[in-house]
């Protein structure tokens, strides 16, 4: 005879098999998703971004991965709607940040995988700016594997797909990233054209507050331009990079390390080996402070090319 639940008598909870209970719990957690929660998660990503540029990836990657794991779990079980779309955008940028951190720690395989997560979430967000950013940034794993032609193709795909759909600051960033890949491929004329396009677009549009994941202004673009010129062995790189050194926000520790490596390379090409050694030593200090394996490898490669620092 079935048990009748009388008035004021609570029904016994239904016991679900473990797999069903787990799914029910995850769906229930995702139901708590709202605009304020997404904002909190985005703010946490921004705090990791700020800490990363000063302290380096070694101290933060594990935390960033845990953060994106939490967002990914909510995203996978959230029902369609504006909150899921907003969370997808937050996850995409968080995963791209973790991917960049993995790359800086010398793990291009993990960086590639994290950017695949970022791209999947970006597509779900339906935000062309985020899709373009995380796709183009993935190309840096290809550059670190010495596959510049593939990197050029990936960035050009991102830029062309985004054409007419994204803010000017991002278009400038995409041109600058393409210039870097072209310089790595030795395509000097094409790289210069891409740099000119980046400068022209940035001058016309400037900073866009809707793109918190982009650090691009005239100083950062000068740093980028100097990197490309140094890679191509151009004498003008020294002045570009020196100006950027003097103007760069000192909180960008890892960026400053990369800039000093570029300057060391530029001086070495000009035969100014003492100045090159000075910059290499400064780069080593900054790379150590930021725990940047990527910049350490660049320094080691530069030293192997024949520019041995004095006293070693």
Q: What Cα–Cα distance (Å) separates residue 43 from each residue in 26, 93, 255?
A: 23, 12, 22
CA distance 57 to 48: 10
Instruction: Count the domains in the chain.
Output: 1
- Residue 11 covered by a domain: no
Full residue range of the structural domain in which residue 66 is found: 28-126
In a domain, 92, yes or no: yes
39-95 per-position pLDDT tens digit: 999 999 999 999 998 888 998 999 999 999 999 999 999 999 999 999 999 999 999
Backbone angles phi, psi at 13, to 5 degrees: -65, 140
What whole-number distance in Å separates Cα of residue 182 and Cα of residue 233? 14
Residue 311 lies in a domain: no
Residue 272 lies inside a defined structural domain of this protein: no
Q: Is residue 140 part of a domain?
A: no
Each residue's pLDDT expressed in tens, for the chain with a length of 312 residues: 444 444 444 444 557 777 788 888 888 888 889 999 999 999 999 999 999 988 889 989 999 999 999 999 999 999 999 999 999 999 999 999 999 999 999 999 999 999 999 999 999 999 999 999 999 999 999 999 999 999 999 999 999 999 999 999 999 999 999 999 999 999 999 999 999 999 999 999 877 778 888 888 899 899 999 999 999 988 889 999 999 888 988 888 888 999 999 999 999 888 898 999 899 999 999 999 888 999 999 888 888 775 544 333
261 within domain boundaries: no
Residue 62 lies in a domain: yes
What are the φ/ψ torsions at residue 215 (nearest 5 degrees)?
Answer: -110, 90
Separation CA 213–CA 118 (nearest Å): 13
Residue at 81 is within a domain: yes
- Maximum separation of any 2 CA atoms in the chain, in Å: 96
Cα separation of 290 and 300, whole Å?
16
* Spatial distance between the Cα atoms of 225 and 65, rounded to a whole number of angstroms: 32
Structure tokens at 208: 């866009």
DSSP string across 183-227: HHTT-HHHHHHHHHHHHHHHHHH---TT-TT---SHHHHHHHHHH
């Amino acid at each position: 005879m079935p048990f009748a639940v009388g008035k004021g008598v609570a029904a016994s909870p239904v016991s679900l098999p473990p797999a069903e209970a787990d799914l029910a719990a995850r769906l229930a957690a995702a139901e708590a998703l709202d605009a304020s929660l997404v904002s909190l998660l985005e703010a946490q990503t921004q705090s990791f971004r700020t800490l990363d540029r000063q302290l380096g990836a070694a101290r933060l990657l594990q935390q960033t991965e845990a953060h994106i794991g939490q967002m990914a779990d909510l995203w996978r079980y959230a029902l369609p709607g504006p909150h899921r779309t907003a969370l997808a955008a937050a996850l995409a940028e968080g995963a791209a940040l973790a991917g960049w951190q993995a790359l800086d720690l010398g793990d291009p395989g993990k960086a590639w995988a994290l950017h695949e997560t970022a791209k999947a979430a970006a597509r779900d967000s339906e935000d062309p700016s985020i899709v373009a950013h995380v796709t183009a940034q993935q190309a840096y794993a290809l550059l670190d594997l010495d596959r510049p032609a593939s990197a050029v193709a990936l960035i050009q795909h991102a830029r062309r797909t985004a054409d007419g759909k994204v803010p000017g600051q991002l278009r400038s960033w995409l041109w600058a990233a393409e210039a870097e890949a072209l310089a790595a491929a030795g395509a000097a004329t094409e790289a210069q054209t891409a740099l000119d396009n980046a400068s022209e677009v940035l001058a016309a549009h400037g900073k866009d507050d809707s793109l918190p994941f982009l650090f691009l202004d005239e100083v950062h673009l000068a740093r980028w331009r100097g990197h490309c010129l140094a890679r191509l062995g151009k004498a003008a790189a020294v002045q570009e990079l020196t100006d950027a050194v003097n103007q760069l926000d000192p909180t960008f520790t890892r960026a400053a390390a990369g800039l000093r490596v570029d300057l060391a390379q530029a001086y070495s090409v000009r035969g100014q080996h003492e100045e090159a050694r000075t910059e290499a030593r400064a780069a080593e200090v900054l790379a150590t402070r930021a725990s940047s394996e990527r910049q350490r490898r660049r320094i080691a490669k530069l030293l192997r090319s024949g520019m041995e620092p004095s006293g070693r």
